[in-house]
Chain A
Amino acid sequence: MDCSHVFEFKVKRLIVVFTLFLAFFSSSPAAFAQVDTTHVTEHAHAEPAKKKFDIGKFALHHIADSHSWHVIGETYIGLPVVLYTKDGFVTFNSSDFNHDDEGRVVVERKGQRFVKVHEKIHYASAVANEHGQFVDLDEKHHALNARPLDLSMTKNVCTLIISMIIILVVFLNVANGYKKRKGKSPKGLQSWMEPIILFVRDDIAKPNLGHKYERFMPYLLTVFFFIWFNNMLGLIPFLPGGANLTGNIAVTMVLALATFCLTVFNGNKYYWKHIFMPDVPWWMYIVMVPVELVGVFTKPIALMIRLFANITAGHILVLSLICLVFVFDSLYIAPVSVAFAVFIGAIELLVAFIQAFIFTILSALFIGMAIEEHH
């Protein structure tokens, strides 16, 4: 659970602010395990009430996906759980777990028993362990039980749907504007979005893809606005924002995979020749071909990691700043942490755009490299 290397991706950030929090996190793994243990064991209740606030666990909990949506205080919205098990689909509401996240509450559906451990649903063990948990844990407290295919409407999936609705509403409105004011200057939402659409077309697609750019415009525009809108939604601290969708590795993986597929399926003979038969002496092939082949995969992987790390790190940073109040256990630190959080929030707004831009321009670049014609 060493989070510090997550931060290493964020070198671009303000190093001063950064080192401050690296300091927190470097000390955190030890504390983490400790608190983790005390938390799971029943002795936890016997411990002094004022235990040390674990900023790492708090932040990681908030950036992770969840089966329920925390609204405020003790109010949670239970989200539907959809599981594909050996016996078909099983659905129930996550509030059936009674907010238990340590495998103590078993939900039984269709003759199958499920528990939730660290926001992941596992098949429950037949009997509870000594802590009342229906799971087998390894020494790091990771559940060892098998898992059904989890297609639940988690917080991230809800955000995904909300963002889809927002994007569709916005752009159908924009498209409608073009239909209504045919050939006229843009107005309202249309005039907000047109410069950005033109930016994607003229500064991202055209320079990288050349005259064949039109084929890839739908993908580039969709990926750009999807990432940008979700980055911004993630910055809203309350409903309907707050989920860390673009900072989720599964989401960035799908996006990177899309770019990868477009690159591979659109690659022309020059592209493949460059990989398998580069213009070097034949004995260099031993080195060049593996390097080029690895490059094919590292490009989308870099895309995936970059977006994930940047957005996740931003979330952790803001959360950590706010948590300073709890770390120092003093309200007097609040102005400082709020000031920093506002500052980082402003930077995050910029990062939200920049990351969408970088992902899109690199996608265009990779596709452009694959479809480039040589004379």
Chain B
Amino acid sequence: MDLLLPEFGLVILQTIAFLLLMFLLAKFAWKPVLAAIKEREQSIDEALNKAELAKQEMTRLTAQNEELMKEAREERDRILKEAKTLKDSIVHEAKTQAQTEGAKLIEKAKIEIENQKKAALAELKNQVSTLSLDIAERVLRTQLEDKAKQQDLVANLLKDVELN
């Protein structure tokens, strides 16, 4: 039964040793270790929270970017559309203007041509009359060169002229 009887000396020594061990460990090991573990856990938690926040921020930013992109795209489309209508209107305007201008020019040309034609015709008339007079003069001159012929003519003429 010796086994079951605690030896008093050992009880005392064990008590002293255990208390000493607990004191030393508590002061120099458990306190810093537990504090360090706790601190690290907190920093890990914090980091995880931060990561979560960053992720949320990220999604928010992505959404925002998406929105901005969409807006930008819409803006671009709008601008393009505007530009197109503007271009179309300009082209159209230019076309009509060109057409009217062209028509006007053609009109002017026509008038000019008419005028020129008239002038040319007048000129031609003058020329023709002068020419005819000239010719007539020449013809008359040649025909009336000898006396016989002149008398003939006068005679002819006089014959025609029946004194009525």
Residues of A bordering B, CB below 8 Å: 1, 3, 6, 60, 63-65, 118, 120, 149-152, 154, 156-157, 160-161, 164, 167-168, 171-172, 174-175, 178-179, 182-183, 194, 197-198, 201, 214, 217-219, 221-222, 225-226, 248-251, 253-255, 257-258, 312
Contact = CB atoms under 8 A, between A and B. Distances in A.
A250 B7 contact: yes
- For the complex of A and B, list the 8 residue pairs with the smallest distance between their C-beta atoms, beginning with the closest: A218-B26, A178-B36, A250-B6, A171-B29, A150-B9, A250-B10, A254-B14, A222-B22
Contacts of B12: 151
Given A149-B8, A249-B5, A250-B7, A172 B28 contact: yes
Contacts of B8: 149-150, 250
Interface stretch (B37-45, B59-67, B128-136): B37-45
Contact of B11 (A152, A178, A201, A250): A250
A167 B31 CA distance: 15
B22 A218 contact: yes
Q: Chain B contact residues: over half helix, strand or loop, or mixed? A: helix
B32 interface: yes
B33 A178 contact: yes
A169 B31 CA distance: 16
B130 to A, nearest CB: 125
Interface centre among B12, B21, B29, B40 (most CB of A within 10 A): B29
Q: Chain A contact residues: over half helix, strand or loop, or mixed? A: helix
A160 B17 contact: yes
27 contacts: A3-B3, A64-B2, A65-B7, A149-B9, A151-B12, A156-B10, A164-B17, A167-B25, A171-B30, A172-B28, A178-B32, A178-B36, A179-B32, A183-B43, A197-B33, A197-B34, A198-B37, A201-B34, A217-B34, A222-B30, A225-B25, A249-B5, A250-B10, A250-B14, A251-B10, A254-B11, A258-B18
B1 interface: yes
A331 to B, nearest CB: 31
Given A149-B8, A150-B9, A157-B10, A222 B32 contact: no
B157 interface: no
A183 B15 CA distance: 36
B163 interface: no
Interface of B: 1-15, 17-18, 20-22, 24-26, 28-34, 36-37, 39-40, 43
Given A164-B17, A174-B33, A251-B10, 4 more contacts: A175-B28, A221-B30, A251-B14, A253-B11
Nearest to A165: B21
A312 B3 contact: yes
Nearest to B14: A254
A57 B130 CA distance: 176
A80 to B, nearest CB: 12
A201 B5 CA distance: 34
Given A183-B40, A254-B14, A168 B21 contact: yes
Contacts of B14: 160, 250-251, 254
B5 A226 contact: no
A124 B2 CA distance: 20
A171 B5 CA distance: 33
B21 A249 contact: no
A188 B6 CA distance: 39
A1 B11 contact: no
B160 to A, nearest CB: 148
A253 B26 contact: no
B37 A217 contact: no
A182 B3 contact: no
Contacts of A175: 28-29, 32-33
A258 to B, nearest CB: 7
A194 B1 CA distance: 41
Contacts of A197: 33-34, 37
B6 A218 contact: no
Contacts of A118: 2
